Amino acid sequence: MAKTGEPDAAALNAERAFAASVLRAEASAVAGMAETIAEPFHQAVSLIQACADSGGTVLVSGLGKSGLIGAKISATFASLGIPSHTVHPTEAAHGDLGRFRKSDTLIAISFSGETEEVVNLAAMIRQDALPIVSITRKMPGSTPSTLQRLATVALTIDADDEAAGGGFLAPTASTTASLALGDVLALSVARRRDFSSADFARRHPGGSLGGMLRPVMELLRFTVGDGVVAIAHDASVRGALEQAAITGRRPGALLLVDPGTGELTGIFTDGDLRRLILKDPAQISRPIREVMTPNPHTVAETAVAGDAVRLVREYRQDEIPVVDDRGRPIGIIDVQDLMAMRLVQG
């Protein structure tokens, strides 16, 4: 029985159904645009690419909720190597027009296409012959909005009804669709400009995202010749342990290689040793190739930290060997290193 003031089971079921309908409405608004990608979209991508390639800035403007969506779109452009910042449509008439240069492009967002401040800004920008990309709703019939008429390229979203079946006036499906369209523009321009994950990493050095994009070579505490030895897999377990002891500190696994090619053939972890000794201490004299973990998952020396994290999560492998392009070990990443960077939880 529900406590006084708390919803009962029927009310909770109705609330879940309502929440699901909102999510479906917003998802539908985004999915609907996937079927309408056409020539104006490609034209907009070309305009923005030309702006970025010429050293210009993508200026994004909108009022109210559209302005907040514009700020996110602008941030996405910037993170993908496309210079961008926002301009408040009202402030533009009070000095911020000085932000615009001949190489810049304006993205103007207005659901109705008639927001006075945004329309006025677009009209002033058009006088200076700067490219304008508008994002508005798809107008019924063939009558374009004022902002569409001012735009060099007019993009539209098909979201006549907001989520919740019109029961609330707050922009929901329309802003979600606008945000998605802005993301698609930014990603498409970045794709044309061959923007790489390495470029992205240079712009996101901080936080867990930056950590995921760090080259694995920057993470190595244990490299072959410094903290870890590449041991021939035909050595005995005892012999391998004695070779590893020479280094003093060491990771939680031994790197085992083919003595002829130097290629990594397996690893032997502290856990493997513990299980072996508990089973039969005499097995410490066996060839280590018979008790090692053969063909472990590895990462290339060109990989990033996120690749090592994926192996830890998918295969529960706590020691990740790093190999060169010939499969020879360079070093080993310990899961404790990833935990210290807060990329993996214990």
Same domain, 169 and 33: yes
Same domain, 74 and 173: yes
Q: Report in angstroms the alpha-carbon separations of 206 from 29, 172, 213.
A: 34, 31, 10
pLDDT band at 1 (very low <50, low <70, confident <90, very high): very low
Residue for token pair 């210290």: 340
pLDDT band at 38 (very low <50, low <70, confident <90, very high): confident
d(C-alpha 100, C-alpha 96), whole Å: 8
d(C-alpha 156, C-alpha 187), whole Å: 18
Same domain, 176 and 305: no
Q: What are phi and psi of 34, to 5 degrees?
A: -65, -25
Angle (nearest 5°) at CA 13 between 8 and 17: 145
pLDDT band at 234 (very low <50, low <70, confident <90, very high): very high
pLDDT, tens digit, for every residue of 51-77? Answer: 999 989 999 999 999 999 999 999 999
Residue type present at position 24: R
> 58: domain range?
18-195
Same domain, 124 and 181: yes
pTM of the model: 0.61
**Counts of helices then strands in the chain (DSSP H, E):** 13, 14
Same domain, 62 and 191: yes
Same domain, 158 and 59: yes
Q: Look at the chain and report how many structural domains it folds into.
A: 2
Same domain, 180 and 223: no
Residues in the chain: 346
Same domain, 25 and 143: yes
Does some domain include residue 207?
A: no
Percent of the chain residues past pLDDT 70, beyond the cut = 86
Same domain, 225 and 281: yes
Q: Mean pLDDT over residues 304-315, rounded?
A: 82
Does some domain include residue 208?
A: no
Domain boundary among 166, 195, 224: 195
The predicted pLDDT at position 73 comes to: 95
Residue type present at position 40: P
Same domain, 179 and 245: no
What is the DSSP code (8-state) at residue 73? H
d(C-alpha 343, C-alpha 211), whole Å: 7
Measured between its terminal Cα atoms, the distance across the chain in Å is 39
Q: What is the 3-state secondary structure (H, E, C) of 230-246?
A: EEECCCEHHHHHHHHHC
